[in-house]
Structure 1
Amino acid sequence: MGAAALPSNGEIATVTVATHPLVLGLQPAALVDNVAHVDWSLLDQIPGDRGGSMPVAIEELEHILKEVKAHKLASPDELSPMKTMAGGSVANTIRGLSAGFGVSCGIIGACGDDEQGKLFVSNMSFNGVNLSRLRMKQGHTAQCVCMVDELGNRTMRPCLSSAVKVQADELTKEDFKGSKWLVLRYAIFNLEVIQAAIRNAKQEGLFVSLDLASFEMVRNFRSPLLQLLESGDIDLCFANEDEAMELLRGEQTTDPEAAAEFLAKHCNWAVVTLAADGCIARHGKEIVRVPAIGEAKATDATGAGDLFAGGFLYGLIKGLSLEECCQVGACSGGSVIRSLGGEVTPENWQWMYKQMQIKDLPLPDIRN
């Protein structure tokens, strides 16, 4: 497949983007999310655990999309019952850091030369993300169906098998030069490119942040994950409560505190998010617990952990305390659950700035 680097600012970028972004995200395959509210009956018909993320083939993705259109629920708060946007955990974090916090960000990966690829490029460049490390290839862009139930919990079915992606041997030191952070998401099918990215990042002096992805990924591929953590190359690790439980499976204690302690043995910063109960974080011997911010009932939990990670990273970049980093993360995570999808609306960014102001946290320079 032929590959060509995209222009650094895309054709419709509305802001100038840095040549050497402060934060780089590795998302080997660009991804487009199809997000909709659905009724419970549909989730009962779809194989796999409710609330999790399980890869599906293209035929199954098309079947699920068809079923979603038949079972989607209209929402008085949304203009359309289904939203389509650039997605993926890393893309959500990077887009949020750029659009909401004014941090210069770039993404490493590949997208197809199809409509979904164009949508991904348009959405990310509009939000100021540097796309000079995003390769465009002939083929399909990955897609994911995000089904949101009445309680705001999301069930995801990504289709990655036939999608174009960046390969380990395509990465160069130049991709990482001049940046400070590399943001990753654990995935066994991307392990080779993750390892190559970490090697390059460490040679260029970057810090590395890892998200544990999903409880299924931790459950099924725990051994390679432990090797990654034990390498000492992961500086910051994010896990939600379900992922933390799977990580400690077989241990005497499997509570979030124990998971944070376990991760802190291998990483400088360890964070376990607890949904409506906030988070627990450790840095060395320091441990903090911070409550969630926002409504108890989420419209859609998609992207909550991703945006929390973005807020936490903003705090680290600003030199804030561990507790303040968690508070910014809680404000950021709270902003995205107020509407459908993993992208924060302008109104919800303003809500976040107000929450940060109340807590006397430093506001981003980008704020209007």
Structure 2
Amino acid sequence: MVEFDKEKRRITGIGSVLVDILVHETDAFVEKAEAVKGGMTYVSPDHIEQAISEASDPPVMVPGGAACNTIIGVGRLGGEARFVGKSGNGQLAGLFESNLAASNVEPVLLKSPSLTGRVLSIITPDAQRSMLTYLGASAEVRAQEITPQHFEGTGIALVEGYLVFNPEIMRAALSAAKDAGARVALDLSSFTVVEEARGFLDEIVDTYVDILIANEDEARAFTGCSDEAEALRVLGEKADVAVLKVGERGSFIASRGTVLSVPPEGNGAVVDTTGAGDLWASGFLYGMVSGYSLGESGALGSLCGYEVCRVVGANIPEEGWDRIRSALK
């Protein structure tokens, strides 16, 4: 078991300030919008607006971004949570910041006059989501703006995998977290991210990462192994704790030569997988920093991941959190 300083229970996430724009559409819509099914593509804000204009129904807008989703989950679990990122001006920026505060998360938001970032998440009938992303102000973070003070009192620093597209910022975040004495967690975020930044990921994982989280597609792209057991073995050689999420079959956790199998939670219908991996990480990282065993942390991760799949979007409603808190008791 990885041990943490009892004085450092904070989980700090650093990543993109994004607002999720959710629409329910068909595979044909995904293709027409030039999205990658189940993946993520960077586009202009005009591209997103054009796709929205062709949607069947008005979209739903909620705060998003992979690291932010996870940190909001930590805050809702009652953990000490902080989020670091850069937002723009206007209504979307206000929506984002107010949601953080309402979710027991300390916002540490750098400001920009640019548009706030946004993601069009196209949810198809098979519950997959395909994302079109405009980073906007979130891409304007500068390396010198990130300091160890952002990670003060932090037990786990969650660094968003999408930051690999800006190596200078990624290195600055990782270095600042380590200088502050935090353990670094990295969620690989998307198989498309891994495919496009494979060499850089190898470098930073070997140098900085203590906790490495991946799903099946991401693990295959990162390790080159189609066999799950072999992929997990490779992941486990690169970090103190490695996680392989296998969807409805649960997850596997490797640490220092030991492998745990964590069964899935719940048996209800899956409505939308948006945020499933992010909220899984909420439960898992909260459990780790709170002194739970790896198995207990994985079980909490599975429960959070299941609850978010029962609703549209990455925000678990209050009744879902009530069920999670009851399970914790």
Task: Report the TM-score when normalising by structure 2.
Answer: 0.93
Residue 293 (structure 2) pairs with residue 294 (structure 1): no
Report what 2:215 is aligned to: 240
Q: 2:238 aligns with which of 231, 242, 266?
A: 266
Q: Is the 1:257–1:280 contact (alpha carbons within 8 Å) kept by the matching residues of 2?
A: no
Report what 2:284 is aligned to: 312
AA matched with 1:85: V
For residues 201 and 18 of structure 2, what CA distance do their matches in structure 1 show?
A: 23
Q: 1:256 to 1:221 in 2, by over 3 A?
A: same
Structure 2: gaps of 5 or more residues:
1-7
For residues 222 and 138 of structure 2, what CA distance do their matches in structure 1 show?
A: 29
Q: 1:148 to 1:163 in 2, by over 3 A?
A: same
Q: 2:174 aligns with which of 195, 198, 219?
A: 198
For residues 216 and 69 of structure 2, what CA distance do their matches in structure 1 show?
A: 20
Deviation at 1:21, TM superposition (A): 7.3
For residues 87 and 234 of structure 1, what CA distance do their matches in structure 2 show?
A: 24
AA matched with 2:253: A
Q: 2:67 aligns with which of 90, 104, 125?
A: 90
Q: 1:41 aligns with which of 28, 33, 37?
A: 28
For residues 263 and 296 of structure 1, what CA distance do their matches in structure 2 show?
A: 31
Please list the CA deviations of residues 316-343 of structure 1 after superposition, one character each: whole Å capped at 9, or x if unmatched: 1222222111111100111111101111
Report what 1:174 is aligned to: 149
Q: Which structure 2 residues correspond to residues 1-368 of structure 1 after superposition, within 5 A?
A: 22-27=10-15, 29-68=16-55, 71-72=56-57, 82-99=59-76, 101-131=77-107, 133-160=108-135, 165-187=140-162, 188-231=164-207, 233-249=208-224, 253-295=225-267, 297-354=269-326, 356=327, 362-363=328-329
Please list the CA deviations of residues 252-273 of structure 1 after superposition, one character each: whole Å capped at 9, or x if unmatched: x422222221111121110011
Deviation at 1:48, TM superposition (A): 3.9
Answer with 42-51 or 281-290: which moved more.
42-51
For residues 162 and 25 of structure 1, what CA distance do their matches in structure 2 show?
A: 17
For residues 310 and 147 of structure 1, what CA distance do their matches in structure 2 show?
A: 23
For residues 35 and 124 of structure 2, what CA distance do their matches in structure 1 show?
A: 15
Structure 1: gaps of 5 or more residues:
1-19, 73-80, 357-361, 364-368
Q: Is the 1:154–1:301 contact (alpha carbons within 8 Å) kept by the matching residues of 2?
A: yes
The list of structure 1 runs, each at least 4 consecutive aligned residues, that deviate by more than 6 angstroms after superposition, is none
For residues 62 and 326 of structure 1, what CA distance do their matches in structure 2 show?
A: 38
AA matched with 2:244: V
Report what 2:5 is aligned to: none
For residues 197 and 143 of structure 1, what CA distance do their matches in structure 2 show?
A: 22
Q: Is the 2:216–2:228 contact (alpha carbons within 8 Å) kept by the matching residues of 1?
A: yes
Report what 2:4 is aligned to: none
AA matched with 2:78: G
Q: Percent identity?
A: 29
For residues 163 and 60 of structure 1, what CA distance do their matches in structure 2 show?
A: 18
Q: Is the 2:115–2:136 contact (alpha carbons within 8 Å) kept by the matching residues of 1?
A: no
Indicate the RMSD between aligned Cα atoms, in angstroms: 1.7
AA matched with 1:214: S
SS of 1:245's partner is helix
Q: 1:199 to 1:163 in 2, by over 3 A?
A: closer
Q: 1:161 to 1:84 in 2, by over 3 A?
A: closer
AA matched with 2:255: H
Answer with 264-273 or 183-192: which moved more.
183-192
Q: 1:48 to 1:147 in 2, by over 3 A?
A: closer
Q: Is the 2:67–2:159 contact (alpha carbons within 8 Å) kept by the matching residues of 1?
A: yes
Q: Is the 2:38–2:128 contact (alpha carbons within 8 Å) kept by the matching residues of 1?
A: yes
Please list the CA deviations of residues 227-246 of structure 1 after superposition, one character each: whole Å capped at 9, or x if unmatched: 11121x20101101111111
Q: 1:21 to 1:191 in 2, by over 3 A?
A: farther
Q: 1:164 to 1:234 in 2, by over 3 A?
A: closer
Deviation at 1:40, TM superposition (A): 3.1
Q: Is the 1:114–1:139 contact (alpha carbons within 8 Å) kept by the matching residues of 2?
A: no
